[in-house]
Amino acid sequence: MKVKSALLLLVLTIATVLTGCEPLMVLDPKGPQAERQAHDILLSIGIMSFIVIVVFAILIYVLIKYRASKASPDYEPPHIEGNKWVELICVGIPVIIVTYFSIVSVQSNNIVEAKPIKYQDKDPLVIYASSSDWKWHFSYPEQNIETVNYLYIPTDRPIEFKLYSYGPITSFWIPQLGGQKYAMSDMVTTLHLAADEPGEMMGRNANFSGKGTAENTFNVTAMSEKDFDKWVKDVKKTAKPLSEKKFDELLKPGHLGQMTFTGTHLKFSPAPEHDHSPSAKPEEGQTDHSKMEMDMDMSDHQNHE
């Protein structure tokens, strides 16, 4: 009776705690990549739950059917060599499950690593996302602006993040848009994401990189392309230019609030040359952002003169 009461109390406690929880961000996708990953998570949970239920049902059946009887102490059960069907089932079913999960994983990995299928006809917005202790720097080479610790992106357009680090290895993660990918100091990794609907989300460094990791977060705002273009124009009118001296100050360890600049650090502190992605070289029609940055600098210099 005491055991039943303890189990009942445990179930009620868990139910009470969970009623106050918000939905898990990974199960509340706002983009096609995250939607695919959420589907795989729920599929895995469903299959594993079914397996657990079946195993416990078989266990209960065996415990009841083959429990100890009142047989004579001298009773010897018959010798059994084995059953090939039982052995085949016990080995075959796990093999089938693992094979199925492997196929799903490979398919999903190819999908989330590429540009979102539904936005194949649109050019991606390229954003260089670099980390330092303990902040995030977002460079928009096409717009020639840079933000610190916050990110504005348009909806219904693929986003191509170029990730690298000015310090230890970090992990760029926006749970509602897709899975994490590492940012390293000697190479660039590419992450394809997209937002299907406007809204505010949270991003963070998901890899331990020192005492400031817990606060190494950034805010993400998805908006319509019209609002995004308006934001870019407002930034160019109001933000101060980013100088090399100012950027060196930003790289010093510490926490900062949100900051906005015109220009990017790519002109005086470019990203690593080693691009660890399938499409490292610019394809035909694709923008060479380093050349664009130099052209913008020349244009700004001429305007000042």
CATH code at 247?
Answer: 2.60.40.420
The answer to whether residue 286 scores a pLDDT higher than 90 is no
Residue 101 located in a structural domain: no
Residue 5 located in a structural domain: no
The answer to whether residue 151 scores a pLDDT higher than 80 is yes
Residue 271 located in a structural domain: yes
pLDDT of the residue at 277: 62
Which residues constitute the domain of residue 234?
122-277
Can you tell me the mean pLDDT for 18-42?
Answer: 82
Residue 17 located in a structural domain: no
For residues 111 and 98, what is the distance between their CA atoms, to the nearest angstrom? Answer: 20
Residue 53 located in a structural domain: no
For residues 56 and 297, what is the distance between their CA atoms, to the nearest angstrom? Answer: 68
pLDDT of the residue at 237: 94
Contacts of 256 (CB under 8 A, 6+ apart): 135, 148, 149, 250
Structural domain tally of the chain?
Answer: 1
Can you tell me the mean pLDDT for 229-248?
Answer: 96
Which of the pair, 9 or 91, is modelled with greater confidence?
91
Residue 162 located in a structural domain: yes
Residue 287 located in a structural domain: no
Q: Among residues of the chain, what percentage have pLDDT more than 90?
A: 66
Per-residue pLDDT tens over the stretch 62-80? 898 888 777 777 878 778 7
DSSP lists the bridge partners of residue 276 as 189
Can you tell me the mean pLDDT for 71-95?
Answer: 84
Residue 66 located in a structural domain: no
For residues 248 and 250, what is the distance between their CA atoms, to the nearest angstrom? Answer: 5
